[in-house]
Homo-oligomer: A and B are copies of this chain.
């Protein structure tokens, strides 16, 4: 295993120290393991979190117009309830706290426990579950669909609504709407290597790809032969299309899983744009880059969100985080 780390056990701590040094406008609580911009009086607090190894998700999305706190678990491991509770309390501005939870069993249980504990302390907590990945119905770590790229859209759009003063119920409703309108599908070309084990999370042949891969490298629908960017885009979009109409205004993310060069993501984006145009879709907003990764896995995921004028307006609102920034 070749990784730029000091010791497998220290990866998260060292990364959090580095993150805190790089973004002094944010606070890293090393003891309780969360990143925050602190509470904003009268604003709904947004907390997300999950296993590490998906950077910039979630820490890279903490800041004005997006999350108030992120709780990183160890690599590919859910954050614990105490950690989530501490972050929930830290961002309480008096208007309640919204948890944005990717649908993995451990995440769901631990966020739920934290919400109950916060409720015992008189804090109002709502939760939005993200389950946008159409690849499989149940998976290694999941009952139901997995939460993947749609999380980025949910966090940005709800973040804007919260910044504008939407109340807790409204923020939750907008988050659910974005999730309902979002679908994702991923393809892996190579495996990731988890620092704690030091070996590939799975094996792929020289000419093989994992179709519908999860963000931890968990299996998708099938193994297939290595294909062109156009074929990969078509596989992903057909899977999404089978689940949701795409003949209207959409936002698209072509997301790198970590080990794929940006030049290839542009090639994929060209194929995605072509495919959607041929199927009546109109791309009104896009992201091309690494936003929700799986360590050094090569491959990409495609996320599509059916937009409305209100959602577009919230997407366009100012944001200032390490990984997404505009309008400020």
Contacts and interface: CB of A to CB of B under 8 A. Distances in A.
Given A189-B2, A261-B293, A267 B11 contact: yes
A53 B261 contact: yes
A197 to B, nearest CB: 15
A260 B4 contact: yes
A252 to B, nearest CB: 9
A190 B269 contact: no
B6 A230 contact: yes
B290 A4 contact: no
Given A18-B270, A21-B270, A266-B15, A259 B296 contact: yes
B262 A232 contact: no
Contacts of A273: 18, 21
A33 to B, nearest CB: 14
Interface in A1-39: 2-7, 11, 14-19, 21-22
Nearest to A286: B22
A260 B53 CA distance: 11
A228 interface: yes
A267 B4 contact: yes
B267 A14 contact: yes
A267 B52 CA distance: 13
Interface string A281-325: 001001010100101101110000000000000000000100001
B260 A18 contact: no
A19 B266 contact: yes
A230 B3 CA distance: 12
Interface string A223-236: 00010111010000
A244 to B, nearest CB: 21
Nearest to A20: B270
A265 interface: yes
Q: Nearest 3 CB-CB pairs, A to B?
A: A18-B270, A18-B266, A55-B262
Given A6-B271, A19-B266, 9 more contacts: A4-B267, A4-B299, A15-B267, A21-B286, A22-B269, A55-B262, A296-B298, A325-B325, A327-B328
